[in-house]
Structure 1
Amino acid sequence: MTVNLTKGSAAGVPPLSKPERVLLGTVAVAAGAVGILGLASSFDAVSAAAARWGFGAPWMLPVGIDVAIPVFTAANLLLIRVNMPLAWVRFVPWALTLVTCWLNIAAGHSLSAKLAHGTMPLLWVVLSEIAAHVYASRIGAVTGRRMEKIRRSRWLLAFPSTFALWRRMTLWEITSYSDALARERQRQLDRAELRERYGRRWRKHTPHRTRVLLKLGELAPAAKTETAPPPVPPGNGDQEQPEPKPERPARRPRNTTGKAKPKGKSVRSADELLAEARTVTAAWADEDLTAEAIRKTVRTSQANARTLRDALKAERAEAARFRREAEAGAEAA
């Protein structure tokens, strides 16, 4: 699956226009030239220092260190892409960056020379980090595993509630910020309804299952109707409450067909859920393909909805890639 910077991501980013693509190409060429200058400067300085330090092949030291920085960065991104990340690999380019900067600083004789020698390799390192950040962001957008950030203004204006929102996003793997806001909005409405129904001490009188669903943000309307009614406050001790009359059970209807009716709804398998979701979302736009919308339409759990969302997005990305390859083949022909 290829990653195209000129196409809009799943988060709704519009595609780049033609002038923006030209600007992107110009910046990429200029950045490559600046990175090559930094690499060449680091090569000359570290090679000369390695020759003074007694290295038999002085060119191997700068080449081995400076080239290893983008190599390990690319290896880390590829591991993330194939869903086999290693946490310690991310720190290898940073350690090599410190090493090459220190070697360049040691190659200088005066303070200004040390500063100049230490700055030049940073051009190559910064270019590698920018490319890694762009590719990592696109990987997260394609696979749906990149967690969107919360606005800084929300952190400043409502820190406690924002921290609680960020905590729920982290604990329950809610990668979409808009989905998290929708769940939080619904949770606040459900909480207000429970408070209106049970009073100020609603936490004490609300059933435990309802409280858990409210905490998870998955308190569905069906769950609300199943909650027990609020307890009736006891009356005066002198007055006795009349005992309710026992109701006569309704007569069981006679089975005329001889076939037993199913007691409950059968559980749908993962393939059935995916087929149904694929059918109902065929006409949806990419920005409308969210876990919350799928959950409400297919009537499934939030975990299944997130799985269906990731599968549908992956299918659409694969189909888009095939279309681009077909168009490229047609143009080449």
Structure 2
Amino acid sequence: MDHRQVSSGQKTLTITVVTGTILIACIGFVGSYNAVLRLAQHNGFGWFSYVLPIGIDVGITVFLALDLLLTWMRIPLPILRQLAWVLTGATIVFNAASAWPNPLSSGMHAVVPLLFVAAIEAARHTVGRIAQIQANTLFERTRLGRWIWSPIATLRLFRRRMLWELRSYEEALEMERRRLVYRARLRATYGRLWRYRAPVDFILLLKLANLGEPLPEFRVETVPALPAPRLDLPALPGSRPEPAATVGAAGGVTISEPETEEPATQRQPQAQPETRLAVASLGSAVERYRAAFDDYTDRHGEFPDQNQLAQWLFEEHGITGRTGAMLNPDYLRLYLAGFQASWHVDQAVPVDVSQ
């Protein structure tokens, strides 16, 4: 604990607790010495009966003080604490046996050592917690209400905290949120058999998350209100005005009239807005991403990466995220492999455009 954060009231309370603990220890040692001395003399220890109580009390003090010191230095030795417990238990038994068979007197002899042990355990807990905070090794406890209202999910979260070695409760919740979002998006993209259809890199990233590897941060993108999708919108640019030009020239073999060339020149600058309308009017967000991916590939002759696709969606089609900014490239990276595979499949299927 930083001394600058300790108030005057806390200092006064600490001094009071330390003084009271020392007073309890002195009273307990004096009472224990007399009781154990009489018990040792009664059992024929002779001159050794005068040093036996001192040895037990000094042993308790040394072991507890050494345990506190090592805990403060972040190198605790549990056996020291256990030895102090054994000696304290022996002192309680000896004090109680010195007043036997009177149960009330035996209980009175055992009270003071118990008070001393309780005070020392509280001090050790405080020192250990401060040492963990300073070393950033404090394992935050899961809230009791979560165990009560959602025991199964909390048990899974606790198990993953142990596996991931996450000491922060909030960090564990954030990791679990990312894992659930990642799984949901893989399932939405590749179907119920996403474990077998998804690329190995995506599955490997999810498996590494079980070892504590952080998943990319996701932002849930909201879809604005869109008009009802129409079946003729995804058609290629320029395909709808073509029949009108053909009807006008149906009576002749050649088309040499200037009116047929003028609409063709007018259709050229409108090709890009029509593509924008087709992409922005699709039903789901994944369909819009796929249409923009195909549009970029057709125009540039190569697949875009996640950054290029996000920029293309933002600049060419006006598709943004929840905050109005460009989509997160890490979010789009989940769909690239599926878009590439679908594009290859579409290119491999011959399309008859003569009819």
State the match for 2:318 in structure 1. none
Structure 1 distance, partners of 2:340, 2:104, is: 80
Contact 1:210 1:224 in 2 (8 A): no
How many Å apart are 1:76 and its aligned residue? 2.9
State the match for 1:225 in structure 2. 333
Is 1:212 the counterpart of 2:207? The answer is yes
Contact 1:73 1:93 in 2 (8 A): yes
Contact 2:140 2:167 in 1 (8 A): yes
State the match for 1:19 in structure 2. 9
Task: Give 5+ residue unaligned stretches, structure 2.
Answer: 218-329, 351-355
Summarize deviations over 1:259-316 as a string: whole Å, max 9, x none.
Answer: xxxxxxxxxxxxxxxxxxxxxxxxxxxxxxxxxxxxxxxxxxxxxxxxxxxxxxxxxx
Task: Give 5+ residue unaligned stretches, structure 1.
Answer: 8-14, 234-239, 246-333
State the match for 1:164 in structure 2. 156
How many Å apart are 1:95 and its aligned residue? 1.8
Aligned residue pairs total: 229
State the match for 2:166 in structure 1. 174
Is 1:31 the counterpart of 2:139? The answer is no
Structure 2 distance, partners of 1:218, 1:22, is: 45
Contact 1:197 1:230 in 2 (8 A): no
State the match for 2:310 in structure 1. none
| 1:176–1:21 Cα change, 3 Å | same
Partner of 1:78, secondary structure, is helix
State the match for 2:43 in structure 1. 53
Structure 1 distance, partners of 2:22, 2:105, is: 24
| 1:158–1:204 Cα change, 3 Å | farther
State the match for 1:195 in structure 2. 187
Structure 1 distance, partners of 2:132, 2:118, is: 21
| 1:230–1:211 Cα change, 3 Å | farther
How many Å apart are 1:21 and its aligned residue? 2.6
Structure 1 distance, partners of 2:79, 2:183, is: 43
| 1:59–1:181 Cα change, 3 Å | farther
Structure 2 distance, partners of 1:223, 1:43, is: 72
How many Å apart are 1:189 and its aligned residue? 2.5
Over the aligned positions, Cα root-mean-square deviation in angstroms equals 3.1
| 1:65–1:164 Cα change, 3 Å | farther
| 1:244–1:165 Cα change, 3 Å | same
Structure 1 distance, partners of 2:51, 2:162, is: 44
Is 1:129 the counterpart of 2:234? The answer is no
Structure 2 distance, partners of 1:223, 1:77, is: 50
Structure 1 distance, partners of 2:103, 2:26, is: 24
Structure 1 distance, partners of 2:331, 2:55, is: 62
Residue in structure 1 matching 2:107, options 99, 104, 115: 115
Q: Structure 1 residues 221-230 or 171-180, which shifts more?
A: 221-230
Which AA in structure 2 matches 1:65?
A: I
Is 1:153 the counterpart of 2:261? The answer is no
Structure 1 distance, partners of 2:34, 2:150, is: 53
Is 1:243 the counterpart of 2:233? The answer is no
| 1:205–1:69 Cα change, 3 Å | farther
How many Å apart are 1:82 and its aligned residue? 4.3
Structure 1 distance, partners of 2:42, 2:134, is: 49
Q: Tell me the TM-score normalised to structure 2 length.
A: 0.56
Summarize deviations over 1:15-57 as a string: whole Å, max 9, x none.
Answer: 3432233233223322332232223222221122122222323
Structure 2 distance, partners of 1:77, 1:34, is: 18
Structure 2 distance, partners of 1:162, 1:73, is: 36
| 1:59–1:174 Cα change, 3 Å | farther
Is 1:41 the counterpart of 2:150? The answer is no
Contact 1:184 1:217 in 2 (8 A): no
Q: Tell me the TM-score normalised to structure 1 length.
A: 0.59
Summarize deviations over 1:119-175 as a string: whole Å, max 9, x none.
Answer: 221111112111111111111111112212112122112212222222222233222
State the match for 2:92 in structure 1. 101
How many Å apart are 1:231 and its aligned residue? 11
Q: Structure 1 residues 80-89 or 43-52, which shifts more?
A: 80-89
Contact 1:190 1:214 in 2 (8 A): no
